[in-house]
Amino acid sequence: MAIREILEVPDPRLKTVSTPVTVFDDELKTLVADMFETMYDAPGIGLAAIQVGVPKRVLVIDLQPDDPDAEPEVCNHGGHEHTHQPTKREPRVFVNPEILDPAEELSTYQEGCLSVPEIYADVDRPKTCRVRYQDVEGITYEEDLDGLLATCIQHEMDHLEGILFIDHLSRLKRNMALKKLNKMRAAA
């Protein structure tokens, strides 16, 4: 497993339409393992293969919910001690995902993206959706998704079409977000 470089705007590869996976082999499993390691390191809750420069229809998602059964962890950062609830990992892999039945009703989430660091904006997406996808063995599943998972899979599936979440914003808001990103890069 390896941490891969995450492409950031304005890298033109992020506009690539990804191709379907047709071979379910060790190379695919390595890609998925690397994607999880990269996503956890970032840290993020979702990653599309194109974000690490691989134009294949592969997504990994882990919403990492708080683990109510775990003992609270005490952390010490720079002399400041605090307690937080550990998260549990629930890694999900979606190969060749398709949305079959998006809801008419929309929900709004404040989205961010590892390819557009430190920029967040409200995006409206269907509240629920039915998704057909394969796992790393090529087995097909269908599942109804809602809440943050429905939003996250739609966000990640946009990447497969070369669409970033900021492409859903008005031109003005998108330009403001990109300006802010460029300012932060210049200051770094």
What is the rounded average pLDDT for all residues in the chain? 91
Whether residue 156 lies in the annotated active site? yes
Average pLDDT estimate for 84-98:
84
pTM of the model: 0.87
Domain count, the chain: 1
| 149 located within any domain | yes
Rounded distance between C-alpha atoms, residue 34 and residue 157, angstroms = 19
| 58 located within any domain | yes
| 5 located within any domain | no
Chain segment 47-58, per-residue pLDDT in tens: 999 999 999 999
| 1 located within any domain | no
Q: Which of 71, 98, 105, 156 is catalytic?
A: 156
Q: How many CB atoms lie within 10 A of CB 44?
A: 20
Domain that holds residue 89: 12-67+83-187
pLDDT band at 24 (very low <50, low <70, confident <90, very high): very high
Q: What is the CATH number of the domain that holds 47?
A: 3.90.45.10
| 53 located within any domain | yes
Residue 82 has pLDDT above 80, yes or no: no
pLDDT at 89: 87
